[in-house]
Each structure stands twice: as C-alpha cells, then as structure tokens.
C-alpha cells in the first residue's frame, strides 16, 4: 500500500552510544530502498545526531507533530531503536500506532502495523531502553576502575597529552612537549 512517509535517521554523536551502528548515510541508503520497494511518497526526511536516551529530540518531536497533524502516514527507519531508547518516546510511538495515527513503521527487519501484537514492539523498545541503562553503568564502572588503578579518567589536563600510539586500555598521559612549559607557574 502506497503511503506518505517520513524517513528518520538517527545516530548519537553526543554520547557515543551508537558507535557500532550504521552511520546516517548508511541508514539513508537502507531507508531509501524500503521507500522505493513500497513505492511510497517521502513527505520529509530527518537526520538527527542526538541521543534517544531521554525525550526532547527536536527533529523527532517535529516528525511526531507532523504525523499527528495528518501530514504523513508512516515512518521509515533502520530499526526501532533509532526512534526511541526511553519509555516516554517508545510509549508515544506505540500509542500512536495502536490508534492508527501512525499507519505503519517500516524498518529493515519488518513492518509494524496497528493490528500487530504489541508485545514484540514493547520488548524491542524495552531492550533499547535497557541497553542505554546498562551502557551508562558500564561506562561508570570503567571510569571507577581507571581511578582505582591510579589513572585520571577523561581528557588529560592542560600541558599533557594522551599517548594514542598504545592499545586501548593501556594508553598513558604524557607531558606535552609543546605546551607543558607554557602552562607552568
């Protein structure tokens, strides 16, 4: 069925939570294939580099407002976790899909329809939310481990530099020969 779609591409640059997922250009290519395969009309396309851990993404909210206003029927995105990693946005999407405001969510893996069993979508959004929660805990644990080993986590202070020639986890902070003397008092 031909629909008016909004294409949504998201990658989190801010928190690096999505370092292993497809880049926005790759998502765009996948989504373009889905649009072409369905013969859909693209109403708008959003590229957003913003974490979905919390509500408040400007382009996501604009997209949802357009759908609520009846300007589009469906969303095309690479995977559901591109749309939400928090229960508020995930619940909003599920509710709009169940009410038929969103007529379809088309991903690389499947198409979600208002008549589908909501359990699968709830589980996928729940897994995306849990991933964000676990990642936050893992990062804090790693930073605490660095402190316990006597390392200063984060960026080196002014006058110092990171030894990037070493393997991750063994990098050291070194004196910056160009700037160290300039910042000494």
What are the C-alpha distances in Å from 9 to residues 31, 35, 42, 100, 115?
8, 13, 13, 22, 25
CA dihedral defined by 130, 135, 137, 139, rounded to 10 degrees? -170
- CB-based contact 123:99 (threshold 8 Å): no
More confident residue, 179 or 143: 179
- Tokens linked to 32: 């373009």
* Residues 164, 144: Cα–Cα separation, whole Å: 21
pLDDT score recorded for residue 104: 96
Identity of the highest mean pLDDT range in 34-38, 122-126, 165-169: 34-38
Structure tokens at 114: 């208002």
Q: How confident is the model at residue 73 (pLDDT cuts 50, 70, 90)?
A: very high
The pLDDT value recorded for residue 70 is 97
Local confidence band at 20 (pLDDT 50, 70, 90 cut-offs): very low
How many of the other CB atoms lie within 10 Å of CB of 7?
Answer: 25
Min mean pLDDT across 20-24, 59-63, 132-136, 137-141 is at 20-24
Taking the complete model, does pTM exceed 0.75, yes or no?
Answer: no
* Per-residue model confidence (pLDDT) at position 120: 80
Residue 33 has pLDDT above 90, yes or no: yes
């Amino acid at each position: 069925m031909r629909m008016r779609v909004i294409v949504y591409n998201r990658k989190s640059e801010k928190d690096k939570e999505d370092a292993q997922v497809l880049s926005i250009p790759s998502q765009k290519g996948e989504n373009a294939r889905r649009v072409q395969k369905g013969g859909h009309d693209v109403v708008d396309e959003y590229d957003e580099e913003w974490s979905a851990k919390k509500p408040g993404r400007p382009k996501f909210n604009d997209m949802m407002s357009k759908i609520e206003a009846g300007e589009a029927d469906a969303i095309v995105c690479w995977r559901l976790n591109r749309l939400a990693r928090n229960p508020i946005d995930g619940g909003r999407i599920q509710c709009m899909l169940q009410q038929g405001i969103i007529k379809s969510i088309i991903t690389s893996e499947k198409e979600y329809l208002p008549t589908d069993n909501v359990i699968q979508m709830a589980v996928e959004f729940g897994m995306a939310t849990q991933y964000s929660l676990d990642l936050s805990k893992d990062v804090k644990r790693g930073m605490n481990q660095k402190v316990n080993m006597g390392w200063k986590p984060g960026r080196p202070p002014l006058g110092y530099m990171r030894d990037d020639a070493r393997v991750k986890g063994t990098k050291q902070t070194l004196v910056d020969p160009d700037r160290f003397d300039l910042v000494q008092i």
